[in-house]
């Protein structure tokens, strides 16, 4: 067996892992490098020639979730290769690309992308797949993208657990350790653990439970009648935090645009059927000519989901003069460094957008596992042979994990052969950093 980390060591994003035997080959994720603060993507793989080369002889591609740093290069994959993604994740990805098709001069590109997503096979948790002599089983994980999975991969008696991006401190995170213990380890020991380590470079960042955020949002909503929220439009658990908090404010409409409404509808129709927390009911769609809604918003206050786009520049320019300044707030609910002008990750669009508001509050918790959670997973899985760290700024940070020396010795960050398994770790020249 061969495990190849084409990309993902010492960088966050652009994840590409290959698992191969003599008669089958699969990829886990085919992600794009994350954009810099100006929105520019530097990615040597983001062209058909490079993807044709890397997917040569590949039988199937399995995606852990719909974030661009895991899914981003799907449209360049030749038609002959089957691509697999979670059933709900497929709907969200489709919805997003349908929206992108409205952007001027992007129609043709989007049509191609939509075709490729429509052709994708979808899966549900614990569905078993066989690609030649490789067996793949997805298991649901909580992440800032809904319908995310880790994969158990079995090859010639060896077992690999590829975690993808995950966390324990989300509403849907409590199943993480029981899933590993009761479903995955019950079937036998894991040989290799391939896992993320986003938070290892940010040990000072307090990772709070999503539920704790809800309490803080409620307090802010009590103090401020008019609440704008800048958060990821596909982060279901965070959206649920704001929706649930707003429900506690009697009679305030939950407002968004038509794109966000379509995404919420997918969540209500899937996760919302299992828990009312994710049932977003019928949000109100903002339009400048919807006088009835605007009067209601002015009268009772509101919670409105926004994005840093031209459309919302227009909406906020229209709305802000109608509202009392001291009762109006923007809650910024993404990584703090995007709006830190001193940071290399600073995002100009976000900075310009938050500038419009006299009151801004930051409420966020990471979509990624805390160091303690990573250590718990490493200790529980206790892999026989190796831990391969991906999706971290610096793989050497794994040595800081509170795990025993024996496990630390198993961390693999350079190419090596162990018995009949070749682990090839490729490093790209340009180090890409983010989150």
Q: Give the interface with Zn ion as residue ranges (CB under 5 A).
A: 67, 69, 165
Alpha carbon 370 to its chain centroid, in Å, reads: 15
Judge whether 319 and 227 are in contact, CB under 8 Å: no
Select 198 or 268, whichever has its Cβ closest to Zn ion. 198
What is the closest distance, in whole angstroms, from the C-beta atom of residue 33 to Zn ion in the complex? 11
Instruction: Write the CA distances from 173 to 146, 360, 372, integer angstroms.
Output: 11, 29, 14
H helix intervals, 248-381: 258-269, 271-274, 291-300, 310-319, 348-354, 371-381
CB of 56 to Zn ion, least distance (A): 25
Quick one: 18 or 69, whose CB is closer to Zn ion? 69
CB nearer to Zn ion: give 297 or 390: 390
Of 69 and 191, the one with the shorter C-beta distance to Zn ion is 69
Give the C-alpha separation, 107 to 100, whole Å.
8
C-beta of residue 389 within 8 angstroms of C-beta of residue 395:
yes
- Least spacing, CB of residue 421 vs Zn ion, in Å: 25
Least gap, CB of 235 to Zn ion (angstroms): 10
Nearer to Zn ion, 165 or 191 (CB): 165
CB of 345 to Zn ion, least distance (A): 14
Q: In whole angstroms, how close is the CB of 433 to Zn ion at the nearest point?
A: 12
DSSP 22: S
CB count within 10 Å of CB 411 equals: 18
Q: How far apart are CA 210 and CA 168, in angstroms?
A: 10
- Sequence-ordered alpha helix ranges (H) in 119-257: 176-178, 210-223, 236-247
Closer residue to Zn ion, CB minimum distance, 154 or 196 = 196
Burial class (CB in 10 A: 0-12, 13-18, 19+), 320: middle
Q: Please, what is the minimum distance in Å from the beta carbon of residue 63 to Zn ion?
A: 11
How far is 410 from 422, CA to CA, in rounded Å? 15
Residue 165 or 257 with smaller CB distance to Zn ion: 165
Spatial distance between the Cα atoms of 295 and 323, rounded to a whole number of angstroms: 11
């Amino acid at each position: 067996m061969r495990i190849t980390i084409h990309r993902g060591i010492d960088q966050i994003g652009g994840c590409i892992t290959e698992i191969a035997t003599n008669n089958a080959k699969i990829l886990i994720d085919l992600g794009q490098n994350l954009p810099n603060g100006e929105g520019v993507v530097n990615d040597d793989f983001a062209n058909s020639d490079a993807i044709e080369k890397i997917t040569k002889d590949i039988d199937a591609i399995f995606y852990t979730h719909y974030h661009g740093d895991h899914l981003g290069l799907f449209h360049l994959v030749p038609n002959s290769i089957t691509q697999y993604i979670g059933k709900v994740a497929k709907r969200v990805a489709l919805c997003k690309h349908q929206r992108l098709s409205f952007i001027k001069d992007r129609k043709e590109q989007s049509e191609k992308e939509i075709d490729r997503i429509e052709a994708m096979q979808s899966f549900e948790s614990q569905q078993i797949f066989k690609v030649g002599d490789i067996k793949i089983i997805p298991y649901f994980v909580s992440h800032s993208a809904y319908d995310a999975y880790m994969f158990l991969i079995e090859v010639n008696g060896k077992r690999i657990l590829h975690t993808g991006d995950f966390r324990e401190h989300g509403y849907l995170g409590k199943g993480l350790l029981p899933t590993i213990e009761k479903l995955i380890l019950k079937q036998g020991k894991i040989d290799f653990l391939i896992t993320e380590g986003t938070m290892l470079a940010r040990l000072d960042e307090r990772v709070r439970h999503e539920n704790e955020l809800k309490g803080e949002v409620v307090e802010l909503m009590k103090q401020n009648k008019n609440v704008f929220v800048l958060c990821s439009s596909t982060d279901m658990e965070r959206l649920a935090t704001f929706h649930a908090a707003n429900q506690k404010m009697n009679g305030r409409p939950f407002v968004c645009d038509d794109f966000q409404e379509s995404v919420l509808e997918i969540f209500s129709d899937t996760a919302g059927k299992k828990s009312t927390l994710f049932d977003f009911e019928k949000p109100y769609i903002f339009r400048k000519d919807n006088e009835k809604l605007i009067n209601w918003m002015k009268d009772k206050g509101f919670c409105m989901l926004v994005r840093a786009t031209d459309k919302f520049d227009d909406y906020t320019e229209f709305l802000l003069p109608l509202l009392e300044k001291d009762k109006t707030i923007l809650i910024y609910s993404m990584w703090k460094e995007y709006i830190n002008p001193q940071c290399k990750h600073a995002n100009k669009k976000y900075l310009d957008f938050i500038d419009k508001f006299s009151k801004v509050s930051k409420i966020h918790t990471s979509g990624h596992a805390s160091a303690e959670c990573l250590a718990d997973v490493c200790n529980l899985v206790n892999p026989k042979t190796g831990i391969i760290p991906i999706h971290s700024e610096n793989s050497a940070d794994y040595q800081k994990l509170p795990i025993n020396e024996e496990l630390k010795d198993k961390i693999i960050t350079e190419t090596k052969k162990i018995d009949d398994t070749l682990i090839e770790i490729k490093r790209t020249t340009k180090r890409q950093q983010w989150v």
